[in-house]
Structure 1
Amino acid sequence: MKIAQAAKQVELSTATLRYYESIGLIPPVKRNGSGIRDYDENDVNWIQFIKCMRSAGLSIEALIEYTALFTEGADHTIEPRKNILINERKRLKEKQREIGETINRLNKKIEDYEDILENEAKLKGSLKAECISE
């Protein structure tokens, strides 16, 4: 299929697909006799994999390295590919921990504001009661 069809199928722009190929994020796409990119199901599947990994937070650099090793295809690249994924998982777990800490801080700050607002409401209520009783 031509690049426009592939782009539509994977919900990316044609410029993005060209860019991904130029930086090595996706393996080189076969070309027809006229030099036009001819995407097949494997190309589309690879692009979907890259999209999935990017949305999961994997870095472009790690994915470029992973793609290069995958394209090489030899058994000796299996361990390095696995290690890339392990390292990215470690990085993402650390990021997850940091986000968790930030959420906890936000929750505490929100609770502080809720306490202030609750105390203000109680104070206003008690002032009204005092005015009524006088």
Structure 2
Amino acid sequence: MKYTIKEVSQKLGMQTDTIRYYDKAGLLPNIERDNNGYRIFNGTDIYNLQMIQCFRSIGMSIEEMKKIMIMPLDDTRFSIEHREEIVKKQRDKLMQQKEQIDQALLLVEFKLSRYAEIKQSQANQT
């Protein structure tokens, strides 16, 4: 199935300017164009944009994304092992962020339970 940039934008919740930026940055190397020069997206393009969204959400740079998404597999500078290492580093960052979030959630839950105890104590006094 083929999609316009507007349809892809709506489907992914991504601004059309952002999609154009990723295309111009070289992250969508095989985007088809119609007779008027408008981008036409297919399922693979949408999957690649979803990967870009995921990678950006975890702070991966455009250059790192290029290394793991579009460099030829036979490019020895960016072997599977090298790409794997980039993704593992991102995973490790995410795990660290997750631990920080888990700790923050514990503190917030504790604070909320204290408020509930105080409210209950106040209710019992009246």
| TM-score after normalising by structure 2 | 0.72
Identity of aligned residues (%): 22
- Aligned residue in 2 for 1:19: 21
Higher share in helix: 1
> Which structure 2 residues correspond to residues 33-44 of structure 1 after superposition, within 5 A?
35-44=37-46
Structure 1 residues 115 and 40: CA distance shift in structure 2, 3 A: closer
Tell whether 2:109 aligns with 1:110: no
Structure 1 residues 27 and 111: CA distance shift in structure 2, 3 A: same
Q: CA deviation at 1:101?
A: 0.9
- Aligned residue in 2 for 1:88: 90
Q: 1:3, 1:39 within 8 Å by CA — same for their partners in 2?
A: yes
Q: CA deviation at 1:47?
A: 1.2
Query: Which is greater in Rg?
Result: 1
Aligned partner (choices 115, 119, 122) of residue 120 of structure 1: 122
Q: 1:31, 1:37 within 8 Å by CA — same for their partners in 2?
A: yes
Any unmatched runs of 5+ in structure 2? none
Q: 2:55, 2:65 within 8 Å by CA — same for their partners in 1?
A: no
Q: 1:66, 1:81 within 8 Å by CA — same for their partners in 2?
A: no
Aligned residues: 120
Any unmatched runs of 5+ in structure 1? 125-134
- Aligned residue in 2 for 1:58: 58
- In 2, Cα distance between equivalents of 1:50 and 1:110: 37
Structure 1 residues 122 and 50: CA distance shift in structure 2, 3 A: same
Q: Kindly report structure 1 stretches of 4+ aligned residues shifted beyond 6 Å.
A: none
Q: CA deviation at 1:30?
A: 4.5
